[in-house]
Amino acid sequence: MKKKGSLIVISGFSGAGKGTVAKRLVKDYGYSLSVSATTRAPREGEVDGVDYYFKSEADFKNLIDYNGFIEYARYVDNYYGTPRAFVEKELAAGKNVILEIEVQGALNIKDQYPDAILIFITAPSVEALKARLIGRGTEEEAVVAKRMKRASEEAEEIDNYEYIVINDDLDECVHNVHSIVVSRRCELKQNLDFIEETKKGFEQI
């Protein structure tokens, strides 16, 4: 019997570099990355179907009605949601699936998938975070201010996560996240079927 993949929820403040971490997990370790749908306008260089599925509000609401999302949330004036079909297909195929989503979505996932691994990624300091957001140059000042305010609210939610990883050195951060996933997959309670099979195997000798 094929073991199901793990569902890994990566959250973190805007500018913490979680998108880069997720892409490296795909490249280095073969994880699957869920592409979310959003009503936010594309940033320069973002590609529909790669970075997000960019939707009108009407299309997004239609998908909600058809149970097309495993979770969705509103974040700084826009909707974001995780398409259901891809996640379920990949997990069933034994792939580790990453959701890069915000806090409300993460908690919603944990309710539905109790084995999901909730990881919070953060920059080494609040100053570093603000510098990265400004340095990215994709957001206007007012949006940076809104995102910093939202980040301060999200800081209150860190306690809901199971792991925190500081993204100071990218290689180390990626390695640490993968180590968390590997260790979780080795937990006894994640391998009850295998243990049962092993015991049965001995009975038959």
- Nearest approach in angstroms of CB 201 to ligand 5GP is 42
By beta-carbon proximity to ligand 5GP, the closer residue of 96 and 102 is: 102
- Nearest approach in angstroms of CB 202 to ligand 5GP is 45
Select the span of 23-31, 67-75, 110-118, 185-193 touching ligand 5GP (CB under 6 A).
Answer: 67-75
Q: Are strands 32-33 and 97-100 parallel, antiparallel or unpaired?
A: parallel
Helix (H, G, I), strand (E, B) or coil at 62: helix
**Which tokens sit at 46?**
């973002």
What is the residue type of 140? Answer: E
Q: Which of 16, 101, 116, 151 binds ligand 5GP (CB under 6 A)?
A: 101
> Does 81 participate in binding ligand 5GP (rule CB under 6 A)?
yes
User: What residues have CB less than 8 Å from 31, skipping those under 6 apart?
Assistant: 8, 22, 25, 95, 96, 97, 98
> Does 15 participate in binding ligand 5GP (rule CB under 6 A)?
no
> Does 122 participate in binding ligand 5GP (rule CB under 6 A)?
no
Q: What are phi and psi of 31, to 5 degrees?
A: -70, 160
> Does 14 participate in binding ligand 5GP (rule CB under 6 A)?
yes
State which of positions 16-55 bind ligand 5GP (CB under 6 A).
Answer: 36, 40
CB atoms within 10 A of CB 44: 6
- Nearest approach in angstroms of CB 165 to ligand 5GP is 15
**Which tokens sit at 30?**
């073969």
Our CA dihedral for 193, 161, 112, 48, rounded to 10 degrees, sits at -110
> Does 70 participate in binding ligand 5GP (rule CB under 6 A)?
no
Residue ranges in contact with ligand 5GP by CB under 6 A: 14, 36, 40, 71-73, 75, 80-82, 100-102, 104-105
